[in-house]
Structure 1
Amino acid sequence: MLKQSLFVCTFAQRILFRNYVTKPVRVRFAPSPTGYLHLGGLRTALYNYLFALSNNGKMILRIEDTDQSRKVDGALEALVEDLEWAGIKCDEGPLQGGTYGPYIQSERCSIYQEMVDKLIENGSAYRCFCSDKRMDLLRREALRSQQIPKYDNKCRKLTQEDINDKINNGQSYCIRFKLSSDCSTFEDLVYGSIAYDVTLTEGDPVIMKSDGYPTYHLANVVDDHLMRISHVLRGVEWQISTTKHILLYKAFQWEPPQFGHLPLIMNADGSKLSKRQGDIRVQEFRKKGMFPSALINYISFAGGGFNRVIGDGIISYTLPELVDQFNIDRVNAHSSKLNSDILTECNRLELIEQVKNPKTLDALIKDVQNLVNVQYRGKNIQASKEHVETVLKWSAGRLIHVRDLISPSYAFLWVLPNEDIQIDDSFKKAISLLCAELSYLENDAFERTKLKTFLKVFSNENDIKFNAFMKYLRKILSGLDEGPGISEMMEILQKNTTIERLKFAVK
């Protein structure tokens, strides 16, 4: 029945019927502080932000915390921090303030009460005294008879005398909105023309709970109107409620905003993303050392919306470049799967770009120095600006995360060998000779393949056992028994650092 009542037009029809509002563009990201920002929420915030910037509009952050039982302490602060880390800047919100505040719904309860009173006065809403026990019985009976569980609108029929008696007797009540079978079409910016009769699956919905807090349906309609929101871009799971929201706008005699519903983001295996998945939290990606732009580019591949040329491959774009590319008409009307390979490639490309740029390179060097100082606290380390820069230029294009540089296999980059390395006299002369010959090599000769050939030739010409000599070189250069090959290690350390460590050992 639900599928039969829902009509979605084609992409071509969607463009034909497009009717952008000429008033100033104002969009909002309205999360609940019930947990941490995850990829789905970040995608919604990003698309709102890109839409606002591409239309010279404003981005508003609104916190929908009317369900106080699910509120998590510290979630608001963490959410704002994640948005700022991702580069998404709001023009108005709880921290920035603005003309249409407060921007936290629990601070707007008097506004909602005033609006509910208006709906009761004009006959669009009514008090409902049905108990939780009765609602549970209705649900069980519907399921038993294989019908859709929904409220039977019993309290619609109460007279004013009945209502006064119940109130005088101290009975608690909620406020419900009167639904109608008005199945007028609304134009979805992504899915096209949508027509749905909400009364087929729902009874009159609660818009004000008995505790005085509004439900999502009332609060978001009231706030979107009072905050002058022109376009609502939100997840497709809310599309089925949009007809209900439009009925509320009509009851208030307000003009609704334009709606656009974003497709679902799926896991690689086709399952739906869940807030309970710890690995889709933005904070987890931050802990892993992902760059903000890499994560932004990653989710921009999930859902379309960009003027990308098929066949270009994975390209990492800056936020201003994504703004220029963004086009709401190109957002997909079907779900998209996440591909973790795209994320790792985006992060690798971003590392290359940050190393190329002198401004970001300086910040990157400081980040690596901090990581090294923390990881190898108390040890004799080498982490000068010049050395870190050399390592970063070598690693750009090879590694995915900056944090990879402090993994055990790369400890030799930072930790200097112990001073008590014992070297046979027979090898001391060879090492001194090696230092001399290495000093004559050009810098471009410090490449693993060339160095491997060079070391073999050097060992043969000086009658040195190659394997034994490599073991000594490993201890001298890294102080480790395991790790990359000697030629690779020398390539990473580069010429000056390699010679310095060899001379230090001989002394």
Structure 2
Amino acid sequence: MRSLLMRQILFCQKRSLCSSINSERPRVRFAPSPTGYLHLGGLRTALYNYLFAKSRGGDFILRIEDTDQTRKVEGAVEALKTDLEWAGIECAEGPGFNGQYGPYVQSERLDFYQEHISTLLENGSAYKCFCTERRLNILRRDAVKSQRVPKYDNRCRNLTHEEINEKMNAGIPHCIRFKLTSDCQYFDDLIFGGIAYDVSINEGDPVLMKSDGFPTYHFANVVDDHLMKITHVLRGVEWQISTTKHLLIYKAFGWQPPQFGHMPLIVNSDGTKLSKRQSDVKVEDYRNNGIYPLALVNYITLSGGGFDHVPGAGVRIKTIDDLAEEFQIDKISSHPSRLNPDLLEECNRLEIKRQLQDNDLSKTLVTNLKNLITKTYPKHNLNLSEDHVKTVLDWSVSRISRIEELVSKKFGFLWILPKAKTEVDQVLLAKLVTNLENLEKFDQNTLKDNLRSFSSNNGVKFPALMKMLRGVLSGLDEGPGVAEMMDLLGKSQSLERIKAVVR
């Protein structure tokens, strides 16, 4: 039993693999299926492939694996390209890009697969299978009843030429299967270290070409990676167990396989698996909810390793060039990557701060915020001067993580100019200005105590004073408390608005 388990799967101790990585110019690919939106796991796979290629002067290729036509979603390819471009991931080759190894959509490469499946049929590595779906279901059901691993029994592997010709002449539908050998394949995983697995123990002969003429993932990705000269395959750990099967297909063709690295799962902060059904794992949702691309990219890299990190140094936003320069594949953790939502908010706040420190980016940020304000408050008299918007952004960078927060009701008073009020006690407000000017601290708690004392000392009811000040400061009936509002406006702006009604 022990030797069987050792043959079944063997994980060797992780070690530095820098010396084992090909020194040639790398060609890597991101090969999603057009079955819907790009999620965080897919973005992480694309990002790490891109950074690996960029760090070594290589090429990043986008390939669309749409062999399962039943799950194809209209518009998914363009959406994927939009998401990758938004994240700063540049494709050297792919659909709509230049490249000499196209087409880059698998449904347009059927001739390639037919040509190469003929090679395997001729050299005896593959065979035609005529088993019906009903028979396969019976096999699965019987295996479950007997508490065995459900797998194909390789029945059609031993059909004679006469039997095959008879079935073909009768027009019986067939697929093409690969002949698995009891051969424990070993490979050096660039992230996990040495891995060995005998796929024939738990699987029957896999299908390479379906009866509809489309290849399966296992066949198409091997053929395409070879023809597109892919040197390194970085993909999710869920494909790790299939890699030994792919190595057998490479061997059947007599091809040199690329090097493989498998990235661990991305999980929630509590260790539970992310679900594609969650609305917060779509890249599009992050973009629509005010998250900046560089913030999301840094968020992903902070959870999975692959970069130098000094303990206690805090979070720092790195550009794509910075990340590519620092990227080291042997530093990727083999443990599941836990996401910390608070870290995303911090990354986005730091990205706002970074943009404010750049002259061109700062102008764009001001313009975007002005557009948001105008859209949110179309019927109000607004203060949208460049200096004011920039001042508020500088002030808010330690308080917010998304600029959309600045157009919420809580912060509406920052932009909406109060209307002229006739029902104000100008003498009282003049005294209040002098009182406030003498305050050393201008925070919410200090202001609350001070305003209560002021109302008591000057014979005015506190609610009446608050109503008057709210009108003077914002002209709004709703919003944060007056003390909080003054704290957010700051001493200078608060006094300026009060003085505006004191003649």
Identify whether the pair has TM-score above 0.5, normalized to the shorter chain.
Answer: yes
Query: Which deviations, in whole Å up to 9, do the C-alpha atoms of 1:103-125 show, x marking residues without a partner?
Result: 11111111111111111111111
C-alpha spacing 1:364/1:466, structure 2 compared with 1 (3 Å): farther
8 Å CA contact 2:14–2:194 kept in 1: the answer is: no
3-state secondary structure, aligned to 1:306: coil
Report how far residue 206 of structure 1 moved.
0.6
Uncovered stretches (5+) of structure 1, i.e. residues with no partner:
none
Q: Take 1:192 and 1:306, find their aligned partners in 2: how far apart are those partners?
A: 18
Q: Take 2:258 and 2:303, find their aligned partners in 1: how far apart are those partners?
A: 25
Residue 378 in structure 1 maps to residue 376 in structure 2:
no
Q: Take 1:447 and 1:79, find their aligned partners in 2: how far apart are those partners?
A: 49
* Aligned residue number for residue 259 of structure 2: 258
Q: Take 1:104 and 1:254, find their aligned partners in 2: how far apart are those partners?
A: 22
Map 1:320-359 to 2 at 5 A: 320-359=321-360
Aligned residues: 499
8 Å CA contact 1:446–1:494 kept in 2: the answer is: no
Letter in 1 for 2:468: Y
Q: Take 2:461 and 2:253, find their aligned partners in 1: how far apart are those partners?
A: 87
C-alpha spacing 1:470/1:66, structure 2 compared with 1 (3 Å): same
* Aligned residue number for residue 297 of structure 1: 298
Report how far residue 292 of structure 1 moved.
1.2
Question: If the length of structure 1 is used for normalisation, what is the TM-score?
Answer: 0.92
Query: Which deviations, in whole Å up to 9, do the C-alpha atoms of 1:37-85 show, x marking residues without a partner?
Result: 1111111111111111111111111111110101111111111111111
8 Å CA contact 1:445–1:451 kept in 2: the answer is: no
Report how far residue 312 of structure 1 moved.
2.0
* Aligned residue number for residue 470 of structure 2: 474
Q: 2:11 aligns with which of 2, 8, 12?
A: 8
8 Å CA contact 1:446–1:490 kept in 2: the answer is: no
Residue 89 in structure 1 maps to residue 87 in structure 2:
no
Higher alpha-carbon deviation: 260-269 or 227-236: 260-269
Letter in 2 for 1:480: L
Letter in 1 for 2:94: G
Report how far residue 145 of structure 1 moved.
1.0
User: Which stretches of structure 1, 4 residues or more, deviate above 6 A after TM superposition?
Assistant: 435-438
* Aligned residue number for residue 112 of structure 1: 113
3-state secondary structure, aligned to 1:382: coil
Query: Which deviations, in whole Å up to 9, do the C-alpha atoms of 1:444-502 show, x marking residues without a partner?
Result: 97943698399659947993637233321111111234433435434544567545644
Letter in 2 for 1:448: D
C-alpha spacing 1:146/1:458, structure 2 compared with 1 (3 Å): closer
Map 1:168-317 to 2 at 5 A: 168-317=169-318
8 Å CA contact 2:185–2:247 kept in 1: the answer is: no
Report how far residue 385 of structure 1 moved.
1.8
8 Å CA contact 1:446–1:491 kept in 2: the answer is: no
3-state secondary structure, aligned to 1:11: coil
Letter in 1 for 2:485: M
Query: Which deviations, in whole Å up to 9, do the C-alpha atoms of 1:211-245 show, x marking residues without a partner?
Result: 11111001111111111110000001000000110
Question: If the length of structure 2 is used for normalisation, what is the TM-score?
Answer: 0.92
Q: Take 1:46 and 1:113, find their aligned partners in 2: how far apart are those partners?
A: 32
8 Å CA contact 1:10–1:192 kept in 2: the answer is: yes
Letter in 2 for 1:318: T
C-alpha spacing 1:166/1:317, structure 2 compared with 1 (3 Å): same
Identity of aligned residues (%): 54
RMSD: 2.6
Q: 2:460 aligns with which of 465, 468, 472?
A: 465
* Aligned residue number for residue 32 of structure 1: 33
3-state secondary structure, aligned to 1:259: strand
3-state secondary structure, aligned to 2:81: helix
Report how far residue 274 of structure 1 moved.
2.0
Q: 1:430 aligns with which of 428, 431, 437?
A: 428
* Aligned residue number for residue 142 of structure 2: 141
Report how far residue 295 of structure 1 moved.
1.0
Q: Take 2:461 and 2:367, find their aligned partners in 1: how far apart are those partners?
A: 39
Report how far residue 416 of structure 1 moved.
2.4
Q: Take 1:367 and 1:108, find their aligned partners in 2: how far apart are those partners?
A: 44
8 Å CA contact 2:444–2:486 kept in 1: the answer is: no
Q: 1:486 aligns with which of 471, 482, 485?
A: 482
Letter in 2 for 1:7: L
Q: Take 2:308 and 2:153, find their aligned partners in 1: how far apart are those partners?
A: 49
3-state secondary structure, aligned to 2:11: coil
8 Å CA contact 2:442–2:491 kept in 1: the answer is: no
Residue 448 in structure 1 maps to residue 449 in structure 2:
no
3-state secondary structure, aligned to 1:202: coil
Letter in 1 for 2:262: H
Letter in 1 for 2:296: L
3-state secondary structure, aligned to 2:180: coil
